[in-house]
Structure 1
Amino acid sequence: MILMIYLFSLVSLDSILNQADLGSANYGIYVLNLSNDSVVYARFSQKLLIPASNMKIVTSGAGLFFLGPEHRFKTRLGFQGKIEKDRLKGDLVIIGGGDPMLELEDLEQFILALKNRKIKEIEGDIILDDTYFTELSLNGNNFRFERLPVGWAWHYLDARYAPEVSALSINKNCVNVRIEATRVGDYADVVIEPETEYVKLINDMRTKEGEDSIIILRRPEANIIYVSGGIGAGHTRNIEVSVKDPALFFGTCFKERLLKEGIEFKGRLRRAFEPAVQSGPLVILDSIVSEPLLHILHELNVESVNLYAETLLKTLGARYYGEGSFVAGIRMLKRFLAVCGADTGRVSLWDGSGLSRHNLISPYQISLVLRYLYLSRYASAFFELLPSSGEGTLERRFQDFDGYLRAKTGTLHAVSCLSGYLHINDTDYCFSMLFNNFVRPRKEIERLQEEIIRALYENLTGDGTELQSKE
């Protein structure tokens, strides 16, 4: 790599950063010209920092590299036993393959498969096999179910962006809490969607004058949602809450659909503690096949869906190590980083989404990933995966950079990151800027990032042309 610094860029960006009053904040910036492999700007670029959702760049790149853009996830429906007339004498088995995009409507395909076999009664149990995402115990004989990565904070484990991870996921492993105001002073109308016995609701929410003051809590150990506080008169709110044990949530939703369609079932929902195919002959009735991985990666990055990233991480481990664990998946991320030219001894990786505060990586290493993908056969596909100005997590940012910028944001408390590509004067650049440990409002750091991008544009166009705001 040619280590040539553009002095005009160095001076202007240094001036911006020196005047920014960053105090004790830690940060690093790296900008690379992809046409000639020259360094445009570097400041603290080797510093290890928390990347937040910029981790998704690494995870998405590894998914493309190891699985390919056409990879699809498969969820299978089968049975053990025999079908006599309209009765299944045996267990129904649902085998998860890690599809993170399954919606409740998709279950109708399995219901139809049962109806096509004239099944009106299931005498056995429904076995939920999500062992694809498990970790072998130390003795190698037992499975351990990992639902959450190391470093996720307990206080957001009921949030929609931090659901448990399972090979059997449905509805993004969340329910919607719909809150509607009534008369001032009365209890608000609160319902769970979808309507299900899996989640219990305790409603202590009142309708009030003025602004909302809503409190929603699900304790990590139970599927009881507590709603309290107040909702303003005339208001309606929809708030998604994650559920505990997604596989059982999947099974409950499926059982409820069975009964609604008139298929009799009096058995139990049982989790498989070993792959179902090991416990007896299995007849497959039907399979639900996901969209191609490329489609999933687009939503993963544009909307920054953490569940998709963690599912992909575990899939990489299951596919290459036979163990759908976070540890095995992280091994695959490090293998990919090594392919990109990064020193894997100088990173600390704990999840695939970036929600863990234990992750540490440098702007230089993220730029190596962006550079590798730009030069790979996946260049055009990966470029389209990142949000453009005004899209997704950039919806309200960089609105006058349409056509110039594709970038992934990353946000946690006291963390704001931005990494991606710039296209200026028929030349492509990759960049990564990670800011940690600041006490200023995050919006000020985001404005600083925009100022840096704007300065890069003005310097690299070579004519001092300024972009005009549309506001």
Structure 2
Amino acid sequence: MNKLIIVLLFLAVCCSQACTPAHTATASTPSKDPIQQFTEETLLRQPGLLPAQVGICLYDPATATYKYNYQGDKYFIPASNTKLFSLYAGMKYLGDSLMGMRYRVTDTALFIIPAGDPTLLHPAYPDQPAIRFLQKAHRNLYLTPGNWQDRPLGRGWAWDDYNDDYMPERSAFPVYGNLIRWMQDTISGSFFSIPDIDWPVRFSPDSSKQGFSVRRDYHNNVFTITEGKSRVLEQDVPFITDGIASAALLLKDTVGKPVGVRQLVPGSGKDGVVYSRPVDSLFRPMMYNSDNFFAEQTLLMVGNQLLEKMNDARVIDTLLNGELKGLPQRPIWVDGCGLSRNDLFTPQDFVWLLDKMSKEFGLARMEGILPTGGKGTLSNYYKADSGYIYAKTGSLSGVVALSGYLLTKKNHLLLFSILINNYTGSGVAVRRQMEQWIHHIRDTY
């Protein structure tokens, strides 16, 4: 009996050992993907990015596969990367040339029908076909409201930035970029503006400040000037558009006759269009300078031509349910430029769009519109060997973004999007870390 018990115990032990997996037979932990490992070391473990939300998407259009996808399907505030979507809309629907304005000629009057063109009387564009046309008109001039159905400021914009030149009001018939350029003559100390205005001007009694500055009242076109003693004696200040009333007032001196405001009169007349300039002459500075105003007006112009309504919400909805319905994730898209923190996009959305744009419009055209290293908003980055990256930047407080095309040293085209929210510390440091990551990808692939 005792021998039987011993044998049974022996067999039980042997069975137990046989059924227990040996540690030496355990598969080793798989090594990390090289991109993942490098990303963790250069980006994700950096002190300023430890509390941040980061999304990275690296896409190979030749194989239609993601080479790296870290939180690529998560939503982020994209800042000015939003302009890529407005750019697509403009390239898709605005044709080869910008519509400067439409018009109707009757026996006694010429009615100006706005088209939203932001280059009208803009100082960056000396050639003004629409103005030449109006100057030659031998009839009474009337500016009509046109198809405007929106607000002067975008949804979610910071109201206290109203005096800053990067946030002029949107309008149906913009003039001078909807900005007044104020200057102080360094010799005489006199002040003047471009254009000349009839609006009230005041002078600040505060003589302690060194910098020249102009501040507009929040609710009125009343400007307060502080005399400057510094070297910079120029400032662009947004004016209140008041629908089309301000544009009509400012047109008077330029065209050499009064411009009234009146609804378009139903009935007969000769209709026509004046085109202002090639579309890429607007798109290039829009992307190189990250021009908010150009992006906003581009979206409104698309609405005007596509829907006969200058309304960004309606044109955005039309785009998302039409040409952009294939996006990996449907974004929350509320403005044309990305000033709003209500905008939410994913990195996968941006690489999808970049792929679509290169296929529809050609990579060469995209390279002519987007800035490369050492140019535009990339002027301080990717300078050593520019011409291999073409990308759109994005910046708000706590937000850094970069999406674009990357040509590797092996002549391999990759699309990428990096969206970072809620970082701490220096934005420049974050951009340098992104630059290091881009260089690594370029050298590796």
Calculate the TM-score normalised by the size of structure 1.
0.79
**Counterpart of 1:435 in 2: which secondary structure?**
strand
Shift of residue 448, structure 1, vs aligned partner: 1.6
Shift of residue 280, structure 1, vs aligned partner: 4.0
C-alpha distance in 2 between matches for 1:241 and 1:253: 15
Per-residue CA distance 1:91-117 (angstroms, 9 max, x = gap): 442221121111166364135422xx4
Shift of residue 332, structure 1, vs aligned partner: 3.2
C-alpha distance in 1 between matches for 2:174 and 2:437: 40
**Counterpart of 2:77 in 1: which secondary structure?**
coil
8 Å Cα contact 1:58-1:337 kept in structure 2: no
Which residue identity does 1:54 align to in structure 2? N
C-alpha distance in 1 between matches for 2:50 and 2:262: 52
8 Å Cα contact 2:78-2:394 kept in structure 1: yes
Partner of 1:279: 266
Q: Residues 404, 250 of structure 1: CA spacing in aligned structure 2 closer, same or farther, 3 A cutoff? A: same
Shift of residue 181, structure 1, vs aligned partner: 4.7
**Counterpart of 1:148 in 2: which secondary structure?**
coil
Partner of 1:430: 415
Which residue identity does 1:378 align to in structure 2? G
Partner of 2:121: 103
Partner of 2:82: 55
Partner of 1:469: none
C-alpha distance in 2 between matches for 1:312 and 1:6: 44
Shift of residue 20, structure 1, vs aligned partner: 0.9
Shift of residue 18, structure 1, vs aligned partner: 3.3
Partner of 1:14: 40
Match of 2:234 among 238, 246, 262: 238
Instruction: Give the gaps of 5 or more residues in structure 1.
Output: 83-90, 135-144, 461-471
C-alpha distance in 2 between matches for 1:67 and 1:223: 33
Which aligned segments of 4 or more residues in structure 1 are displaced greater than 6 angstroms?
A: 205-208
Shift of residue 179, structure 1, vs aligned partner: 2.8
Per-residue CA distance 1:394-430 (angstroms, 9 max, x = gap): 1122211312111101111211111101101111011
Instruction: Give the gaps of 5 or more residues in structure 2.
Output: 1-30
Superposed CA RMSD in Å reads 2.7
Per-residue CA distance 1:118-156 (angstroms, 9 max, x = gap): x6xx5xxx432232232xxxxxxxxxx522221111111
Which residue identity does 2:382 align to in structure 1? F
Q: Residues 11, 174 of structure 1: CA spacing in aligned structure 2 closer, same or farther, 3 A cutoff? A: same
Shift of residue 378, structure 1, vs aligned partner: 3.4
**Counterpart of 2:327 in 1: which secondary structure?**
coil
Alignment of structure 1 residues 172-321 onto 2, 5 Å = 172-181=177-186, 189-197=190-198, 199-204=199-204, 212-228=210-226, 230-232=228-230, 235-245=231-241, 247-259=244-256, 263=257, 265=258, 269-272=260-263, 276=264, 278-283=265-270, 287-321=273-307
User: Which of these two proteins has the greater Rg computed from alpha carbons?
Assistant: 2
What is the percent sequence identity of the aligned residues? 23
C-alpha distance in 2 between matches for 1:241 and 1:63: 27
Calculate the TM-score normalised by the size of structure 2.
0.83
**Counterpart of 1:132 in 2: which secondary structure?**
coil
Shift of residue 335, structure 1, vs aligned partner: 3.4
Partner of 1:139: none
C-alpha distance in 2 between matches for 1:392 and 1:336: 32
Which residue identity does 2:160 align to in structure 1? H
Which residue identity does 2:180 align to in structure 1? V
8 Å Cα contact 1:8-1:459 kept in structure 2: no
1:349 aligns with 2:333: yes
Shift of residue 438, structure 1, vs aligned partner: 2.0
Alignment of structure 1 residues 56-95 onto 2, 5 Å = 56-68=83-95, 70-82=96-108, 91-95=109-113
Shift of residue 442, structure 1, vs aligned partner: 1.5
Which residue identity does 2:72 align to in structure 1? S
Pairs aligned (count): 407
Q: Residues 404, 454 of structure 1: CA spacing in aligned structure 2 closer, same or farther, 3 A cutoff? A: same
Which residue identity does 1:226 align to in structure 2? T
Which residue identity does 1:237 align to in structure 2? L
Match of 2:434 among 446, 449, 454: 449
C-alpha distance in 2 between matches for 1:269 and 1:428: 54
Which residue identity does 1:173 align to in structure 2? N
Q: Residues 352, 11 of structure 1: CA spacing in aligned structure 2 closer, same or farther, 3 A cutoff? A: same
C-alpha distance in 1 between matches for 2:433 and 2:246: 43
C-alpha distance in 2 between matches for 1:297 and 1:397: 21
Shift of residue 163, structure 1, vs aligned partner: 1.4
The structure with the largest strand share of the pair is 1
Per-residue CA distance 1:379-404 (angstroms, 9 max, x = gap): 32123211011111111222113121
**Counterpart of 1:57 in 2: which secondary structure?**
helix
